[in-house]
Chains A and B, each alone.
Chain A
Amino acid sequence: MIVDLPSTDTSAVNRKMVELRESAGAVALGRVLTLVISTEDGPGAESAIQAANDASREHPCRVLVLARGLRRAASRLDAQIRIGGDAGASEVIVLRMYGPLSDQGGSIIVPLLLPDAPIVAWWPGEPPVAPAEDPIGAVAGRRITDVSTTRSPSKTLARLGGRFRAGDTDLAWTRITSWRALLTAALDEPPHEDVTRVEVSGEADSASADLLAGWLASRLGVPVERTSAEVPGGGVGAVRLERASGAVELRRLDGKTSRLSQPGQPTRRVALPRRTVRECLAEELRRLDPDEIFREALENVPRNGSRRSSRAKVKS
């Protein structure tokens, strides 16, 4: 069900929510968190809502979408409430803000937050300079950015890293969870030798490759070389962990499959599909505590100086 409330205010929205709960019984109280999506109004907003709806099947939540419209217009708030089939397992409140009001997202959400439930902020597009200092980020316990959607992911990541606060996280990090899991499992197997050198190759501006290199550097304490290579579809191309008896190598073959080779084991292909925004968001919502491993990875991202371009290209 979709209810439009044009040119309205937040107390009217709240009244309508209670009314809908009483009449339709549609809005349950069992929500576990409030997800605030901060975005520019437009097609991007709708795809973010879609991803949130999908993720809500795993984490029923109240989704507040702050869509910033024309700033030159007069102050106005248009609200839309979606519940039931139009909102996955969540309830979605889209708030379109115009004029001077569009910078007041921080105060607009206050009356609409669920009592006592954790607040998660998500910027599907360009993130604020310092998410934790943003008015919306400041009330949120967890702040999700997605630097891969920005013009220069690597640089944006470095910028966010400089202003990092506990509770920050980025989908570029979430996208490499499967890579990390496979590499970790590979090292579980004997021979249990020390890794002596690491190479991570990926697109030059891939923040995920940066983070993977940073993570390996922070965990292994050995030189990590971040090389750039063309990868079909972008992102991480290959990781090579060198050890005395030979190297463990995980290399992406195409968008869905990778190849794992390690000494003493047959070379195998492994399903490694690219993760969708919906999957990443669901994983983010699963853990609401500060991600210290992410912080350590972020601090250890190899700086530009240590990068070189590699001729090795990933086959498509």
Chain B
Amino acid sequence: MSRPGSPTQTWTNPLRDARDKRLPRIAGPSGLVLFGVTGDLARKKLMPAIYDLANRGLLPPGFALVGFARRNWADEDFAEVVHDAVREHARTPFRSEVWDRLAEGLRFVQGTFDDDDAFDRLAATVTELDTERGTNGNHAFYLSIPPDAFPTVCKQLSRSGLADSTEDAWRRVVIEKPFGHDLHSARELNGIVNDVFPEDSVFRIDHYLGKETVQNLLALRFANELFEPIWNSHHVDHVQITMAEDIGVGGRAGYYDGIGAARDVIQNHLLQLLALTAMEEPLSFSPHDLREEKIKVLSATKLAEPMDETTARGQYAAGWQGSSEVKGLQQEEGFPSDSVTETYAAITCQVDTRRWAGVPFYLRTGKRLGRRVTEIAVVFKRAPHLPFDQTMTEELGQNALVVRVQPDEGVTLRFGSKVPGSGMEVRDVTMDFGYGTAFTEASPEAYERLLLDVLLGEPSLFPTNTEVELSWRILDPVIEKWHREGSPDAYAAGTWGPRSADELLSRTGRVWRRP
């Protein structure tokens, strides 16, 4: 089926040629309507990303950005907010000629989500833009708002006719995590969104998937001969996927309390990373084929039992985060002093396929940990036979391939090497590939890529409905268990999590990597 707005099959643009790799793909005529313009994400990420895209010449001439919020702003006030956000956070240098063109397409509509009149005005603004700026009826709605407002906004978009795609004009909706808080609520949410927008018009943003390193994971695995032969249970001992943050959740109580680390991070980011690490080779890199493989591997994934021994959770207590003294979660503003929300979660997954039988995938995430880092570590088995005696290899660990997602994107390979000297002694060394040193310092922000993909209607980096529901199916049992069991284990801020997490690995003779 051809997407609305895409050129018909019979006509091909004579100026395009697959061999012409210089030509960037500029989005077709279109506009973006942003809900939640006053939020942090909008100011720090979305607005700068839009400017950066414009600066790189990837936005269509006449691109329009409409802000919708309760504030009593005129178009100029909104323009100033965007201007300041761009000035402060954009990645590429500020050029007045680019900004002037972008500013011509900025509009603001004032209103609340339950205000019919405001949405009628929004519809009128959008129509006006179609004639004034030539956006041709193509509009994406970015819902950077709390999920409990989704039903109202979706209904309003539907009522005012804003959600209706036609043969030659598309309407798309972009939503951010959390996609529900369990399988049931995720289905409900998908139902609400899909009532108004068909699934192929829904773009769920998981900004991790827009990161270069994550996409490079696919290149690393499937473009090389070196890694794929050992990428299985014959050679891999276990896999650790870590996303650690050094910040706490102060100021985010409204969202975070009762949600916790597992729902906030494992359900989306970590299970997506697991899927990309464990999936089979896709038939092609088309969105459809990629999704097929991710869905297959997620369907084969489940929590390892018994959960008492394979999961751990924690909550940060007061402590020293590096050089600053910080509060514990229960003392953070907005959190009850008996909050049982976990800020650290570790789970063990098993992937029931021939490739991965018996290889545990350890997923952990936490706030107020030692430092900010996200990585995928594939830890290999020890060599089956060592022609050295014990003393020679005392300091030799297991080989590991570490994909560093952030910061300092790159790949590290750890292996044994002889220590210089007359004796034979083998010790771990690392071989390092820094994405930044081999390629680009100026690699685009994840949001740039993702926003452009939305405008181009290119869904490969967005998780589908099915993937979201499968992830909840994997995670739900442990969330229910924790819900029954009272409070999480405390860990001091600035450390690498509660002792129960270390025990989780030491039961099988393994240790967490210190990332």
Residue ranges of A at the interface with B (Cβ–Cβ < 8 Å): 28, 30-32, 57-60, 89, 174, 177-178, 180-185, 187-190, 192, 195, 216, 219-221, 256-257, 260, 265-266, 268-271, 273, 283, 287, 289, 291-293
Contacts A28-B437, A58-B442; is A268 near B134 (CB within 8 Å)? yes
**A187 to B14 alpha-carbon distance, docked (Å):** 9
Closest to A60 in B: B437
Cross-chain contact A181 with B26 (CB below 8 angstroms): yes
CB of B370 closer than 8 Å to a CB of A = no
Chain A residue numbers with a CB within 8 Å of B134 are 265-266, 268
- Within the complex, which residue of B14, B20, B438 is in contact with A32, where a contact is CB–CB below 8 Å? B438
| Interface stretch (choices B95-103, B276-284, B465-473, B493-501) | B95-103
Cross-chain contact A220 with B28 (CB below 8 angstroms): no
CB of B7 closer than 8 Å to a CB of A = yes
Cross-chain contact B29 with A189 (CB below 8 angstroms): yes
- Within the complex, which residue of A60, A181, A260, A289 is in contact with B57, where a contact is CB–CB below 8 Å? A181
4 closest A-B pairs by beta carbon, nearest first, are A256-B97, A185-B26, A184-B15, A192-B11
Cross-chain contact B13 with A184 (CB below 8 angstroms): yes
**A89 to B439 alpha-carbon distance, docked (Å):** 10
Chain A residue numbers with a CB within 8 Å of B434 are 30
CB of B62 closer than 8 Å to a CB of A = yes
Closest to A183 in B: B15
Cross-chain contact A181 with B54 (CB below 8 angstroms): no
Interface size range on B against A: 35 or more
Contacts A30-B433, A188-B13, A192-B7; is A271 near B98 (CB within 8 Å)? yes
Contacts A57-B442, A220-B14, A260-B61; is A271 near B433 (CB within 8 Å)? no
**A59 to B441 alpha-carbon distance, docked (Å):** 8
Between A and B, 22 residue pairs with Cβ closer than 8 Å are A28-B437, A58-B441, A58-B442, A59-B439, A60-B439, A177-B24, A182-B26, A185-B26, A188-B7, A188-B13, A190-B168, A192-B8, A219-B17, A257-B97, A265-B136, A266-B62, A271-B95, A271-B98, A273-B97, A283-B22, A287-B21, A293-B20
Closest to A289 in B: B21
Q: How far is the CB of B78 from the nearest CB of chain A, in Å?
A: 20
Cross-chain contact B62 with A268 (CB below 8 angstroms): yes
Cross-chain contact A266 with B20 (CB below 8 angstroms): no
Cross-chain contact B15 with A58 (CB below 8 angstroms): no
Chain B residue numbers with a CB within 8 Å of A220 are 14-15
Cross-chain contact B101 with A60 (CB below 8 angstroms): no
8-43 of chain B: CB within 8 A of chain A: 8, 11, 13-17, 19-24, 26, 28-29
**A269 to B97 alpha-carbon distance, docked (Å):** 10
- Within the complex, which residue of A60, A188, A269 is in contact with B28, where a contact is CB–CB below 8 Å? A188
Residue ranges of B at the interface with A (Cβ–Cβ < 8 Å): 7-8, 11, 13-17, 19-24, 26, 28-29, 54, 57, 60-62, 95, 97-98, 100-101, 104, 131-134, 136, 168, 433-434, 437-442
Chain B residue numbers with a CB within 8 Å of A287 are 21-22
Q: How far is the CB of B371 from the nearest CB of chain A, in Å?
A: 22
**A174 to B60 alpha-carbon distance, docked (Å):** 20
- Within the complex, which residue of B14, B16, B61 is in contact with A182, where a contact is CB–CB below 8 Å? B61
**A183 to B61 alpha-carbon distance, docked (Å):** 11
Cross-chain contact A185 with B60 (CB below 8 angstroms): yes
**A138 to B234 alpha-carbon distance, docked (Å):** 47
Closest to A186 in B: B61
Contacts A219-B15, A266-B62; is A181 near B95 (CB within 8 Å)? no
Q: How far is the CB of A20 from the nearest CB of chain B, in Å?
A: 16
Closest to A195 in B: B14
Q: How far is the CB of B26 from the nearest CB of chain A, in Å?
A: 4
Cross-chain contact B439 with A58 (CB below 8 angstroms): yes
Chain B residue numbers with a CB within 8 Å of A182 are 26, 57, 61
Chain A residue numbers with a CB within 8 Å of B26 are 181-182, 184-185
Closest to B11 in A: A192
Cross-chain contact B97 with A271 (CB below 8 angstroms): yes
Q: How far is the CB of B258 from the nearest CB of chain A, in Å?
A: 45
Chain B residue numbers with a CB within 8 Å of A293 are 17, 19-20, 22
In addition to A257-B97, A265-B29, 16 A-B residue pairs with Cβ atoms within 8 Å of each other are A58-B440, A181-B24, A189-B29, A189-B136, A190-B168, A192-B7, A220-B15, A257-B101, A266-B62, A266-B134, A271-B95, A271-B97, A271-B101, A273-B97, A283-B22, A293-B20
**A283 to B21 alpha-carbon distance, docked (Å):** 10
